[in-house]
Amino acid sequence: MLRQALLAASRSGGARRVVETAPFTRDVVRRFIAGETIEDAARVTEELTTEGLLVTLDVLGEDTTDRERAEANVQHYIDLLRRLGDTRLEGAPLGTRAEVSLKLSAIGQTVDEALALDNARRVSTAARSAGTTVTLDMEDHTTVDSTLRTVHELRRDFPDTGAVVQAYLRRAEEHCAELAYEGSRVRLCKGAYAAPEPIAFTGKEDIDKSFVRCMKVLMAGKGYPMLATHDPRLIDIAGALAVLHGRDADTFEYQMLYGVRPQEQRRLAGQGAVVRVYVAYGREWYAYFMRRLAERPANLRLVMRSVTGR
Ligand code: FDA
């Protein structure tokens, strides 16, 4: 119930105004969001990569409904990627340790799928120049087919484009089977949006079971699985599947969100696993922040405590 309410609020203009202007927000938001500027993103990326973690950067902003806004978002990604290519850390460009995550809804998908594809090509070209890659985030269930079509188109020229599968979709296993081929980078996550019962599993147990089935397909396949979860049980199962399929540590990676289970991120990296942190930054933090609250009611208590001062 609470999750559904928070997800509904993530798309409500009224709730947005209340949360954005509340005096408490800044500190709590800072836990999950790296800052507002490219400088903030570069600083956090340097900190994390110095500790042996990899990064994927997300410029906040989604559900863009006009071309000018989409263009501004594309330009921001291009500027960010230029920065990743130009900044050197221990002799290597930052781009060798940080890629970008891109939401098609931020670069024109809602206006026209072809516009989003063109824009994604421009971002991918900038990523290639910076020595890095792009992963296309998966969003609301109504956009899944369009996003998968765009992934397949983009991969003709940019085979290293990352795809995302959301385990809560009933078709998730099918998506994994289609994507588990040589060279295919696939992020598996549970799914952070609201979706109706005929399309998605809605109970935690069913979603977790689907995640395991998907992991089995990806880990047995020839691609490069990117297992995006903080769930300790699923992380253990991932480790067991890696052993079962004789996968070396550099043939798959764990991914977690900035601000969520940071000790676990470092523990896994300390054991030799590849761990990538999803770092979101920018001024348009509202929808992203609300999805993080929806994932864990305890985060809401954090907000309440900062309101009441207790
Ligand atoms: P679950 O929500 O069951 O949480 C397991 C445990 O992790 C919790 O008990 C808690 O300890 C901890 N935890 C989880 N979320 C937390 C939070 N917000 N705050 C504090 N602790 C938390 N979704 C999507 O639809 N499209 C996408 O493209 C992506 N991309 C993506 C990239 C990366 C790197 C990650 C980690 C996640 C995504 N997601 C996503 C989000 C994903 O679908 C999912 O909503 C969250 O990862 C939470 O699910 P868990 O697998 O962590 O399990």
Distance CA(227)–CA(261), nearest Å, equals: 15
Report the percentage of the chain scoring pLDDT > 90: 75
| CA of 264 relative to ligand 1 center, distance in Å | 14
CA atoms of 163 and 166, how far apart (whole Å)? 10
Number of domains in the chain: 1
Whether residue 140 lies inside any domain: the answer is: yes
Residue 230 lies in a domain: yes
| Mean pLDDT of the region 18-31 | 73
- Please give the residue range of the domain that contains residue 258: 34-284
**pLDDT tens per residue across span 79-119:** 999 999 998 888 888 889 999 999 999 999 999 999 999 99
Please report whether residue 260 resides in a domain. yes
40's CB contacts (< 8 A; 6+ apart) are 34, 281
Judge whether 230 is annotated as a binding position: yes
For the question of whether the overall pTM of this predicted structure is more than 0.90, the answer is yes
* 187 part of the active site: yes
Q: Is residue 17 part of a domain?
A: no
Average pLDDT over every residue of 264-268: 98
263 labeled part of a ligand binding site: no
What is the per-residue pLDDT for 242?
A: 98
Residues near 258 by beta carbon (within 8 Å), at least 6 away in sequence:
32, 33, 34, 44, 48, 277, 278, 279, 280
Q: Whose CA is nearest to atom 47 of ligand 1?
A: 229
Residue 309 has pLDDT above 70, yes or no: no
Catalytic residue among 137, 155, 160, 208: 137
Average pLDDT, the chain: 92
Confidence of residue 272 (pLDDT cuts 50, 70, 90): very high
pLDDT band at residue 307 using 50, 70 and 90 as cut-offs: low
CA 213–ligand 1 middle distance (angstroms): 18
Q: What is the pLDDT of residue 304?
A: 65
pLDDT tens digits for range 27-40: 778 889 999 999 99
What are the pLDDT digits (tens) for 37-51? 999 999 999 999 999
Does 11 fall in a domain? Answer: no
Q: Which of 29, 260, 278, 301 to mutate to test the pocket of ligand 1 (most atoms within 8 A of CB)?
A: 260
How many whole angstroms from 34 Cα to the centroid of ligand 1?
17
**Which of 112-126, 152-166, 201-215, 295-309 is predicted with the least confidence, judged by mean pLDDT?**
295-309
From 295, 296, 301, 303, the mutation candidate for ligand 1 (largest count of ligand atoms within 8 A of CB) is: 295
309 in any annotated domain = no
pLDDT classification of 15: cutoffs 50, 70, 90: confident
Task: Please identify, by atom number, the ligand 1 atom nearest to the C-alpha of residue 190.
Answer: 43
Residue 103 among known ligand-binding residues: yes
Is residue 40 annotated as part of the catalytic site, yes or no?
A: no
User: Domain holding 101: CATH number?
Assistant: 3.20.20.220
| Res 190: pLDDT | 98
The phi, psi pair for 63, rounded to 5°, reads 55, 40
The answer to whether residue 91 is domain-embedded is yes
DSSP string for 280-295: EESS--HHHHHHHHHH
Average pLDDT over residues 220-243: 98
Q: 109: annotated binding-site residue?
A: no
Using a 6 Å CB cutoff, which residues line ligand 1? 137-138, 164, 166, 189-193, 228-231, 255-257, 260-261, 278, 292, 295-296, 299
* Residue 305: pLDDT band with limits 50, 70, 90: low
How many residues are recorded in the chain?
310
Q: Is the ipTM of this complex over 0.95?
A: yes
Give the percent of the chain with pLDDT over 70: 95
Assign residue 100 a region: left if phi > 0, alpha if psi is -120 to 50, beta otherwise?
A: beta
User: Does the structure show a pLDDT above 80 at 13?
Assistant: no
Is 161 one of the annotated binding-site residues? no
For residue 94, being part of any structural domain is answered with yes
User: By CB neighbour count within 10 A (0-12 exposed, 13-18 middle, 19+ buried), where does 18 fall?
Assistant: exposed
